Chain A
Amino acid sequence: MRLDALFGYIVERLPELWLRTGEHLMLTGCSTLAAMSIGIPVGILLSRTTWLRGPVMGVIGILQTIPSLAMLVFLLALLNKIGVLPALIALTVYALLPIARNTLTGLEEVSAEVMEAAEGIGMKEYQQLMMVRIPLAASVIVAGIRTAAVVGVGIATLSAFIGAGGLGQFINRGLALANTKLILLGAVPAALLALVVDFSIGAFEWGLRPQRKKDKKGSVQSLMRPLAFMLPVALILIGSAAYFTKPGWIFKSETRFETSHRIIRLATKNFTEQLILGEMMAQLIEAKTDLKVQRRFNLGGTMICHGALINGEIDLYAEYTGTGLTAILKHPVIADPEKALRHVTKVYHERFNLQWLKPFGFNNTYAITVRAADAEKYSWNTISDLQASAQRLRAGFTAEFAERPDGYPGLRQTYNLQFGEVRDFDPSLMYEAVAKKEVDVICAFATDGRIASYHLKPLKDDRQFFPPYHAAPVIREDILKKYPKIGDVLELLGGIIDDATMQRLNFEVDAKQRKTAKVVEEFLRAKEIL
């Protein structure tokens, strides 16, 4: 890519970069402050009660070892909430260990001689703590805070996964679209931010150190000192400034602070087709109604979207009939598309107060897919054809497919297939993996544009194992009642996208790396809906 093009790419996204950086700083800053207000008192308490030390540090240590993604998902389930709150709690938990441990270590390391002097000249216990022990431990405590904050910047990139924003949002989106530029747009600023945070807290620590007589008044050092002190504060101020002065002219459709329900919160899962459908619904609602759309795209997998919809954290997303049937309702497969839709519509209404609207038209079923060259060589046409050689084949599946009943477990039973090796992949990486012969079989999505571009061949589901996966908007009934216009508007999208069209749209975004909004707008105009 040429340099000026790259420059243009960044400039174009500068306002959003500014906002995401602000969110990132807020997440890190608030969680670090929270961890300080817990960790430092805990450290002080532990320095005075020896018997508590083992158990408390043990618990904090164990919390630390929980993988960050698992922690986020666990909190999500526990709080029944997506967004900033679970992210903040997770980040706080991770920041606790370095802060509490350093506080304890710092307090312990103060020499016994000095403490005896403090007692001997007549300091009360709290005076010994406040005037001697804590000031002498300060640099070690601040070092702990520094570690916590820098690690926090890294972990905060994962909070985008549960809709908390931050620079991780670029990374997530980049992963979903297999777009390296987008990934770097999140990753590089996050790394720089970690350096800036590290430097500023380091400077704060330097400012804390006693000023020697050697640093004469008026010298550069003595002038720098108060500045160094202010650096972390300045960073938090910049963060909140970016956060609260969100440039509305860029994100005209995303209005966080409007509480009056003139906003429709629209989510998507984390792959290209979902982003396209989401953008399509959003553009249409914005064009044809006076409602605003808050785009909470790339929220994560099926369960996160569905959970958020039930909890009222979001109002609407596009779901697939087969997924609703098997993964969410855990009902047996219904092969007839019409019947399947009628069934999910009925049960969703009864059980969740959710409404299925008219499907878009295409069927994005899973397709067991191999390299076209292999298919020809071994004359594979149907999934049954794989049976003989399955033991020698390596499969690459999405994490969801590997576990869902309408995924590998069911497939194994129906076709008596046992692959030699199964590896989990991000949906966006699966196609490349099979094309580059990392694996031999993948669970492609039938409408994915990359099937054609990577010269792959979907095998026929000869035993009709996969249920139909017709995508349709699923919306909360209370929202639909409040704004019936949404239903009418989304009806316009009913049946207008067939399999080939969806493949083409996916291809435009995935392979040609075009902007989703642009591709969607062109399509809607061509169909004369916009």
Chain B
Amino acid sequence: MIKLTHVSKSFDGGRSYAVKDLSFQVRKGETLVLLGSSGCGKTTTLKMINRLIEPSRGTVEVDGKDVMGRNPVELRRQIGYVFQGIGLFPHMTVEQNVEIVPRLLGWSSRSRRERMQELLNLVGLPAKSFAQRFPDELSGGQQQRIGVARALAANPDYLLMDEPFGALDALTREALQQELLTLKKQLKKTIVFVTHDLHEALLLGDRIAILHEGHLEQIGTKKDILEAPATQFVRDLFTTREPGTFILRDT
């Protein structure tokens, strides 16, 4: 379980807040989507979970322990992270990229290899033809699949995903969203997923947390949000028709 209690973050010593007094929980096994437009504090919130960013006030707990009391390196190795810009290491092969966290954790080369093959099959890129390639020899969609495989490599209980499909074309994005849905059922991970795409949020999220200018507007299931929007901002969200993003009424 991940639990945020009155978390605030300021990058300029308190003049302005990227995240203001944020409290919510992510339950075991669920997928929580942090939804909001850019600059709303969703990525900052995500990064506070694995201590890439440290909160100015409030506490972030993972498995009931305050992250500030934990060794950040060990914490991060237990939490899979899929990055916005993919962030594969360009000088390492697919195999080396996927094996990196197990390697840091000191797994034997044999168990690393088995895990790598298993994961590459899982994301649909068989080791036989992909393991020895370099990231720049893969398409964007393939790269992000490897990004997901890398995040899953050490079999973490938690997975943080920061707009992982944002940079992909619509067709690839949809395919990957479907794959993630399947993966979710298979793996039963606790996932925090950041996006600005309402459609994606409704598709993937068990619950959705809507952020606006650093604070939480509403958190709840798809049903809660659609039937009982808590604020005017949330209500407006579903009536605005900006092509490609907030298109709920049509679906």
Contact = CB atoms under 8 A, between A and B. Distances in A.
Contacts of A212: 134, 137
A122 B77 contact: yes
A121 B77 contact: yes
Contacts of A119: 52, 76
Given A113-B85, A136-B90, A212-B134, A123 B52 contact: no
A132 interface: yes
A213 interface: yes
Interface in A133-157: 135-136
Contacts of A116: 52, 83, 87
Contact of B76 (A114, A121, A132): A121
Given A120-B50, A121-B150, A122-B73, A210 B91 contact: yes
Q: Give the bracket for the number of chain B residues in contact with chain A.
A: 20 to 34
Given A122-B76, A122-B77, A123-B104, A117 B87 contact: yes
Contact of B91 (A121, A127, A135, A213): A135
A212 B94 CA distance: 12
A196 B151 CA distance: 46
Contacts of B2: none
Task: Name the residue in B75, B87, B133, B137 with the highest tally of chain A Cβ atoms < 10 Å from its Cβ.
Answer: B87
A117 B89 contact: yes
A213 B100 CA distance: 20
A121 B100 contact: yes
B87 A114 contact: yes
Nearest to B74: A122
Contacts of A131: 100
Contact of B89 (A120, A124, A132, A213): A132
A113 B87 CA distance: 6
A411 to B, nearest CB: 68
A118 interface: yes
Contacts of A123: 73, 104
Contacts of A120: 50, 52, 76, 81, 83, 87
B101 interface: yes
Given A113-B85, A121-B101, A132-B89, 19 more contacts: A114-B87, A117-B81, A118-B89, A119-B52, A120-B81, A121-B77, A121-B100, A122-B73, A122-B75, A122-B76, A122-B77, A127-B104, A131-B100, A132-B91, A136-B89, A136-B90, A212-B134, A212-B137, A213-B133
B132 A213 contact: yes
Interface residues of A, number: 19
B88 interface: yes
A426 to B, nearest CB: 52
A123 B100 CA distance: 9
Contacts of B101: 121-122
Interface of B: 50, 52, 73-77, 81, 83, 85-91, 93, 100-101, 104, 132-134, 137, 150-151
Contacts, number: 59
A124 B89 CA distance: 16
A213 B87 contact: no
A266 B77 CA distance: 69
Contacts of B90: 114, 136
A122 B104 contact: yes
A213 B130 CA distance: 9
Task: Name the residue in A123, A124, A213 with the highest tally of chain B Cβ atoms < 10 Å from its Cβ.
Answer: A213
22 contacts: A114-B87, A114-B90, A117-B87, A117-B89, A119-B76, A120-B52, A120-B81, A120-B87, A121-B76, A121-B77, A121-B101, A121-B151, A122-B73, A122-B76, A122-B101, A124-B73, A131-B100, A136-B89, A136-B90, A210-B91, A213-B132, A213-B134
A437 to B, nearest CB: 64
Contacts of B86: 113
Interface string A165-183: 0000000000000000000
Nearest to A138: B91
A152 B85 CA distance: 42
Task: Name the residue in B52, B88, B91, B101 with the highest tally of chain A Cβ atoms < 10 Å from its Cβ.
Answer: B91
Contacts of A127: 104
A122 B133 CA distance: 24
A159 B10 CA distance: 60
A121 B81 contact: yes
Contacts of A136: 89-91
A121 to B, nearest CB: 5
A13 B242 CA distance: 84
A308 B5 CA distance: 78
Would you list the 7 A-B pairs with minimal beta carbon distance, nearest first? A117-B87, A122-B76, A122-B77, A113-B85, A120-B81, A135-B91, A122-B73
A118 B133 CA distance: 20
Interface in A84-134: 113-114, 116-124, 127, 131-132
A124 to B, nearest CB: 5
Contacts of B134: 210, 212-213
A213 B132 CA distance: 6
A125 to B, nearest CB: 9
A136 B87 CA distance: 13
A117 B88 contact: yes
A138 to B, nearest CB: 8
A116 B87 CA distance: 8
Nearest to B80: A121
Nearest to B84: A113
A116 B83 CA distance: 9
A213 B88 CA distance: 17
A122 B137 CA distance: 26
Contacts of B150: 121
B212 to A, nearest CB: 25
